[in-house]
């Protein structure tokens, strides 16, 4: 469980700098430069992510149950997960979805975390998905208050169509094969 907590602290900590210390972040970018800052940020983020994955895997092996969700919530979670991959792709494909959702990746994280909390009630799952849900909510509130950073937009023809079709294909692929392969849990089994 310790590795999971350390991983969450590193991963969410580095992702929370803009929420908790935006001026410090701006000073560091100015002092180090954009690329070195992103390099350090990426290394800390990657280390946290690796520890999070290893820690989650170990913690799941001997997980205590906090609650047992009613079986129908499992189907609700499948529905909540439907837009997750299209939203993730829309975060990188400038189009109407990206414009309307304003920050589609945060919406995707909130839906993903909520869906998992509705379906699974073990300690590591609640810690992981609950932390990510709280972080996404805090980041969304913070994004509304921050001055937008300029992002070069490269127009993508049919961006929304690509996001929806490719996103739904990824969702089906995850349901059928990838979730079991990568996470070790077959969502459609049982």
18-75 pLDDT tens trace: 899 988 988 999 999 999 999 999 999 999 999 999 999 999 988 999 999 999 999 9
Dist. CA 156–CA 63, nearest whole Å: 44
Dist. CA 83–CA 164, nearest whole Å: 8
pLDDT bracket for residue 145 (50, 70, 90) = confident
Decide if 91 contacts 98 (C-beta within 8 A).
Answer: yes
Decide if 9 contacts 55 (C-beta within 8 A).
Answer: no
Dist. CA 189–CA 176, nearest whole Å: 10
Decide if 128 contacts 4 (C-beta within 8 A).
Answer: yes
pLDDT bracket for residue 149 (50, 70, 90) = low
Dist. CA 183–CA 160, nearest whole Å: 28
Query: What's the N-to-C CA distance of the chain in angstroms?
Result: 27
Dist. CA 80–CA 74, nearest whole Å: 10
Q: What confidence score (pLDDT) does residue 153 get?
A: 65
Is the per-residue pLDDT at 190 higher than 70? no
Neighbours of 11 (CB within 10 A): 23
């Amino acid at each position: 469980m310790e590795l999971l907590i350390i991983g969450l602290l590193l991963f969410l900590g580095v992702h929370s700098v803009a929420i908790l210390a935006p001026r410090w972040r701006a000073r560091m970018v100015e002092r180090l430069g954009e690329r070195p800052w992103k390099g350090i940020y990426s290394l800390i983020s990657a280390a946290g992510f690796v520890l999070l994955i290893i820690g989650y895997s170990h913690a799941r092996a001997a997980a205590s149950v906090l609650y047992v969700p009613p079986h129908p919530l499992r189907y609700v979670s499948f529905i909540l997960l439907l837009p997750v991959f299209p939203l993730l792709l829309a975060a990188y494909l400038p189009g109407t979805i990206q414009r309307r959702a304003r920050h589609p990746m945060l919406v995707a994280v909130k839906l993903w975390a909520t869906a998992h909390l509705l379906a699974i009630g073990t300690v590591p799952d609640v810690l992981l998905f609950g932390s990510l849900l709280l972080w996404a909510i805090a980041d969304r509130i913070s994004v509304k208050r921050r001055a937008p950073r300029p992002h070069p937009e490269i127009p993508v023809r049919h961006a929304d169509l690509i996001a929806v079709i490719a996103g739904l294909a990824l969702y089906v692929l995850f349901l059928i094969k990838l979730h079991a392969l990568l996470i070790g849990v077959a969502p459609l089994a049982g």
